[in-house]
Amino acid sequence: MNLAYGLDMQKSFDEFFALQKKMMRGMEVLMDVDDEGSDCTPKELVYEEDKMKLYHYKPLTKNTCKVPTLIVYALVNRQYMMDIQQDKSVIKNLLEQGLDLYIIDWGYPAPEDRYLTMEDYIEGYIHNTVDFICKANKVEKINIMGVCQGGTFSTIYSALHPDKIKNLVTMVAPIDFDTEEGLLFKWGKNLNIDSMVDAYGVIPGDVMNAGFVILKPFQLMLDKYITVLDNLDDSKQMSDFFRMEKWIFDSPGQAGETIRQFVNDLYKENKLVKGELMIGEKQVNLKNINMPLLNIYAEYDHLVPPSASKPLNDHIGSSDKEMVSFPVGHIGMYVSSKSQKEMAGKIAKWIMERSKKS
């Protein structure tokens, strides 16, 4: 041991050279890092309308569920989080369990889409895709699984058209906006969305992303980039990291009139659970939801806290309703090992059992 000024010089040199070696290896890894592999589960485009596309996944089992399931994702992020990579794909897991899956890709709104309303999305695009799937499969009802904001839209659609929906599954869906948990819900109540929409027309994805990042600034702007240095020489870890980063910053803009109503009527006035929400000329009554409901929420969700999701079960008319939670955060719902092992199996079993009933 060679001590100088209280330092173990040999140990310091060893750590320095080990770090240098790790950085060199990290540079090699970064030169060849593979950030592809998202949205790869085989599917085909079966219907499109304006920028919205409907895909049908190719079955992975011989005997699939007779009632197809439509997945409705949020407008604020891209739907391929559900299929982020093959070893963490919720879609692939559900297909392997025997579900027949369709998914909506909302696309990227452009300036001409600024006047699209919630009515256009729910009574237009979702309604038309439901009709298309019913006709293609010769069924009168389908299952619908709504994720995050897509869960809010799916809930509204199910309340407006209970004759079209066999079973409703919601995942981390905001329903009761009168909560003080989560910064997003506090900000939403005070956000001047009218000025933003008037200024931008279509709210840019980068603006939305900046808002989400500052919800957890230390973790999302500093901690994760420091942590990634520990894995710099691990090609799989780096590929996983860049795949996720690519998804995070692939944020579509938001059609102005839709986000205006979403913020004003839901975040500020909580009209959905009050029974006061209007979609076009139709009033949304959650008591009309008479089909089975599986309500899934994340226990550590900082974007949609449990207090915003759990009340759905108290407001619907159905007596067949179940609530399930997982000890993960919002994104962990799709990619954590815990949810991968248990969530897909739970959803598939629940849907299969209820799809057999007349």
User: What one-character DSSP code corresponds to residue 164?
Assistant: G
CA–CA separation, 95 and 87 (whole Å): 13
Tokens representing 2 are 């060679």
- Diameter of the chain by CA atoms? 82
- Between the alpha carbon of residue 90 and those of residues 228, 242, 342, the distances in Å are 24, 19, 11
Q: Under DSSP, is residue 288 helix (H, G, I), strand (E, B) or coil?
A: helix
Instruction: Tell me the per-residue pLDDT of 248-304, one tens digit each, with 9 for 90 and over.
Output: 888 899 999 999 999 999 999 999 999 999 999 999 999 999 999 999 999 998 889
- Structural domains of the chain, ranges and CATH numbers in brackets: 43-177+270-356 (3.40.50.1820)
Q: At 2, is the pLDDT very low, low, confident or very high (cuts 50, 70, 90)?
A: low
Q: How many CB atoms lie within 10 A of CB 318?
A: 18
Instruction: Tell me the per-residue pLDDT of 70-83, one tens digit each, with 9 for 90 and over.
Output: 999 999 989 999 99
pLDDT at 16: 78
User: CB of 81 within 8 A of CB of 87?
Assistant: no
CA–CA separation, 338 and 334 (whole Å): 9
CA–CA separation, 223 and 219 (whole Å): 5
The stretch 143-166 carries a mean pLDDT of: 98
Residue 19 CB partners (closer than 8 Å, separation 6+)? none
Instruction: Check residue 282 and give left, alpha or beta (phi > 0: left; psi -120 to 50: alpha).
Output: beta
Query: Considering the chain, what percentage of its residues have pLDDT values greater than 90?
Result: 63
Q: How many CB atoms lie within 10 A of CB 120?
A: 19
Q: Under DSSP, is residue 344 helix (H, G, I), strand (E, B) or coil?
A: helix
The stretch 159-176 carries a mean pLDDT of: 97
Mean pLDDT value across the chain: 90
> Which of 154-158, 244-248, 321-325 has the least mean pLDDT?
244-248
> Which of 152-156, 184-188, 258-262 has the least mean pLDDT?
184-188
User: What one-character DSSP code corresponds to residue 84?
Assistant: S
CA–CA separation, 321 and 314 (whole Å): 9
Tokens representing 258 are 């839709």
Instruction: Tell me the per-residue pLDDT of 296-329, one tens digit each, with 9 for 90 and over.
Output: 999 998 889 999 999 999 999 999 999 999 999 8
Given a cut of 60, whether residue 1 has pLDDT beyond it is: no
pLDDT at 196: 94
User: What one-character DSSP code corresponds to residue 85?
Assistant: S
Query: Considering the chain, what percentage of its residues have pLDDT values greater than 70?
Result: 96
Write down the H helix ranges in the chain: 9-31, 90-96, 118-119, 127-137, 149-160, 183-190, 193-200, 205-213, 217-218, 224-230, 235-248, 256-261, 271-274, 306-309, 312-315, 332-335, 337-355
Nearest to 164 by CA among 74, 68, 98: 68
User: What one-character DSSP code corresponds to residue 251?
Assistant: P
Instruction: Tell me the per-residue pLDDT of 194-230, one tens digit each, with 9 for 90 and over.
Output: 999 999 999 998 888 877 777 777 677 677 777 777 7
pLDDT at 13: 77
Q: What is the pTM of this model?
A: 0.89
CA–CA separation, 331 and 212 (whole Å): 13
The catalytic residue positions are 148
pLDDT at 25: 76
Q: Under DSSP, is residue 48 helix (H, G, I), strand (E, B) or coil?
A: strand
Q: How many Cα atoms within 13 Å fall on the side-chain side of residue 352?
A: 16
